[in-house]
Amino acid sequence: MHKKHLMVIDPAIEKPAIESFNRISRITEYPVTYHLPALFGFENSLRIKQNVKGIIVLGSAASVHDGFRWQEELTNILEESFDNNIPVLGICYGHQHIAHICGGKVGLLWDDNKKQGVRNVRLIKDTLYGGACNGPMIYSHKEGVTEIPENFEIIAKSDMVNVDGFASTTKPIWGFQTHIEATQAFIDHHNIPLGDIDNPCQFGHKILDSFINFLS
C-alpha cells in the first residue's frame, strides 16, 4: 500500500468493533486499514506502517499490565509514530496504553467490577475539537488513567473519572477513556444501560470526527 492511510487498531480479545470501524471508513476520505492484534497478531500491520497518516487504537478487555506479545508490538508501533509526529488517538484501552507507555499510571478506578453506562463528560478547550463543552458519553471499563505522563494535560473530566481525556502538549496525541467510537451495535453487544439519554453516541462521534478531520 503506497497511499497514506488511517490505521485503526482494534485490540479486542473477543468481539471486534466492526461497526465502529465501518463508520470510520464511511466518513474518511482516505484509505483505512483495520488490524486485530490480540486475535491475529501484528505481522501484516508491520508491513504497512511506513505509510500511516494517523492511528486510532480502540478498546479492549485486556489490561495494559497483561504483558502480551501484541501489547509489546503495539508499543513499538506507537513509539515509532510518536517519534515521527504521526497523530494518534487512543480510546478506552488505547487511552490507557498511551498513558502507560509514556510514563503515566493506569490502575483500578473502583473495585474489580466493570462499570457501564453513560456519563456526562466536560471537555476543556483543545485544538482538536475547539472550545469547552460537555455532553453524554458511553463508558465500559474498570481501569483508567490515574496519573498522566509528563508533557500531557487533562482535557476531559467527569464526576466518575478525573482523567477522562488527555492530550500531549508537544505532539499530536490524544486519549479518551469513554467510547467515543461506539455505535448501536456496541451498545447492544455490551448491554450498555442508557437511561433516558437520546442519541448517546452523538457527542463522542463529534470528537472522533474531529480527529479524522484533523488528518485531512
- Catalytic site residue 97? no
Of the candidates 212, 193, 213, 214, the residue with the CA atom closest to the CA atom of residue 8: 212
Hey, is 96 helix, strand or coil?
helix
- The pair phi, psi for residue 98, each rounded to 5°, is -60, -50
Q: Please state the φ and ψ torsions of residue 136, each to the nearest 5 degrees.
A: -75, 140
DSSP run (H or E) holding 203: helix 202-215
Contact 12, 35 (CB under 8 A): no
| Closest residue by Cα to residue 215 from 55, 80, 77, 81 | 55
Catalytic residue check, 14 = no
Which of 35, 97, 179, 205 is flagged as catalytic?
179
> Which listed residue (92, 102, 143, 201) is catalytic?
92
CA distance 88 to 173: 5
Q: Where are the beta strands (DSSP E) in the chain?
A: 5-9, 32-35, 52-57, 88-91, 105-108, 115-123, 133-141, 143-147, 152-157, 165-168, 173-176
Catalytic residue of the set 35, 102, 141, 181: 181
Integer Cα distance of 79 and 29 in angstroms: 26
Active site annotation includes 2: no
Known catalytic residues?
A: 92, 179, 181
